[in-house]
Structure 1
Amino acid sequence: MASVARQARSAPAPALLSIGQVLAKLSPEFPDLTPSKLRFLEERKLVAPARTASGYRKFSSADMERLRFVLTMQRDHYLPLKVIRGYLEEMDAGRTPELPGGAVAAASMLSAERKLTRDELIREAGASPMLLGDAISSSLIVASDVFGEDSLAVLKSLVELQRSGIEPRHLRGFRAAAERELGLIESALMPVARRKDASSRARAAEMAREIAGQLEIVRSSLIRSALSRLDS
């Protein structure tokens, strides 16, 4: 027992990372991450790094995982920070809340974002090359040499919609609607976007996600309301 205790005492403490080291580890996955964004996430109580006697932030491995979760939920699922913070607070309290974004979000947290070639995308989606071409020409999928999980999810949905007689050309209005929503968001952000400092850019990015999330709630409500009329 004494030898075990001596080993425990001599075991090195887990290494803590500076802001620069955090950026070096996370920037390849999240290129837009900056020191200002890290400080902004701390201000919003998404992460609480330790402080040295001199006031420098030090991030643990748990802080790193928390940051990776927050940034993934923002980037891949456009979740507002207050939604992510609420989920984390529930977890910190020992409860098991539903993961924001549902099963799709869970899947993305378990594996890194994949990159698919055109042939891989078609094969995994069970689509035809013509369907992918129609999706690209209808601006539902962006033409590229490699495609991500979002493109795969869209193409899979288009395969199912095609079975119901809905073709990509029928969905051209979706892109126009998305552009209109983007215009609304840009107008709302104009007062903040005029400021060029990094903190304002981080705040504008978060506001954009917040607004997009609210617009999604309105859109989903309208669709549910329309569906209820069909049922009646």
Structure 2
Amino acid sequence: MGRATAQAKTPGAAPLLSIGQVLARLTSDFPDLTPSKLRFLEERDLIAPARTESGYRKFSSADVERLRFILTMQRDHYLPLKVIREYLVELDAGREPELPGGTTLSGPSILSTERKFKRDELVREAGATTQLLGDAVSSSLIAASDVYGDDALSVLTSLVELQKSGIEPRHLRGFRAAAERELGLIESALIPVARRKDASSRAKAGELAREIAGQLEIVRSSLIRSALTRLDP
């Protein structure tokens, strides 16, 4: 992606944002976002902020929403930056590519902000009960909070469907233990990078962690699909 030069403000034009202003907009949803992370994403050609004549980075509203999409894909779908970059290249070319798993995202919808739900709103949106949400929290499947996001909605909606088959949150307590074991594997793999204390290494460690998590998800899904063949008549 080419680099633009920040232009003087014209009447009616939205003002460009500094790194600090971008962080102020995004860190409530992405608390690990730092100036080093922004520079790292620029180095990987995922974003291309404009530059002032003095060399300062300036971000448009479109840049901020692009960042929100990238960070959401990392956090919620464990996609490596290479995959996200390839997707965005296709999207920038006017196509509607698929992400791994066959998900097609198009237009402004990919850049929409994550929804937020209060407890009663979450229960209503998922078609659940307060009891089911309480059981999910006590079984460590959903973290207790005053406000919940789309990830909690997806989990609670799945629990509603599982409950119809007689599977309750208490039956899934082992999922949390399995997740903690996977986290231990990831942390062990990151030790060589984590020993370096510079900001660039921290950003690389975060990206590597997501890549490993994504690969573990592929292995887990494959094992489940393979096991399901035993249930075929």
Same fold (TM over 0.5): yes
Which residue in the other structure is 1:23 paired with?
Answer: 23
Task: Write out aligned runs for 1:1-232 (5 A).
Answer: 15-99=15-99, 102=103, 109=110, 111-231=112-232
Match of 1:7 in 2: none
Contact 2:97 2:104 in 1 (8 A): no
Alpha-carbon offset, residue 108 of structure 1: 7.4
- SS of 2:167's equivalent? coil
Q: Deviations over 1:129-175 (max 9, x none)?
A: 32222222221112223322222211111111111111112111111
Give aligned-pair identity as a percent. Answer: 79
Structure 1: distance between partners of 2:67 and 2:126: 31
Structure (1 or 2) with the greater helix fraction: 1
**Deviation, structure 1 residue 18:** 3.3
What amino acid sits opposite 2:73 in the alignment? M
Structure with larger Rg: 1
CA contact (8 A) 2:142 2:155 kept: yes
Higher mean Cα deviation, 122-131 or 211-220? 122-131
Which of 12-21 and 132-141 deviates more?
Answer: 12-21
Deviation of the 1:25 alpha carbon: 3.4
Contact 1:87 1:100 in 2 (8 A): no
Q: Do 1:50 and 1:57's aligned partners in 2 also have CA atoms closer than 8 Å? A: yes
TM-score, normalised to structure 1, is: 0.83
| One-letter amino acid of the structure 2 residue matched with residue 62 of structure 1 | A
Separation (CA, whole Å) in 2 of partners of 1:77 and 1:108: 16
Residues in 1 aligned to 2:24 and 2:14: alpha-carbon distance in whole angstroms: 18
Moved more, 33-42 or 99-108: 99-108
5+ residue gaps in structure 2?
1-9
For residue 214 of structure 1, what is the amino acid of its counterpart?
Q
C-alpha contact 1:77 1:105 (8 A) present in aligned 2: no
CA spacing shift, 1:105–1:182, aligned 2, 3 Å: farther
The answer to whether the Cα contact below 8 Å between 1:72 and 1:109 also exists between their aligned partners in 2 is no
In structure 1, what is the equivalent of residue 6 of structure 2? none
Q: Return the alpha-carbon distance in structure 2 between the equivalents of residues 27 and 179 of structure 1.
A: 25
Q: Secondary structure of 2:98's match?
A: coil
Q: Structure 1 residues 15, 115: closer, same or farther in 2, change over 3 A?
A: closer
Change (3 A) 1:146 1:98: same
SS of the residue aligned with 1:131?
helix
Q: Point out the more displaced range, 60-69 or 13-22.
A: 13-22
Change beyond 3 A, Cα 1:83–1:161: same
Offset at residue 41 of structure 1 (A)? 0.2
Q: Does the 8 A contact of 2:66 with 2:111 survive in 1?
A: no
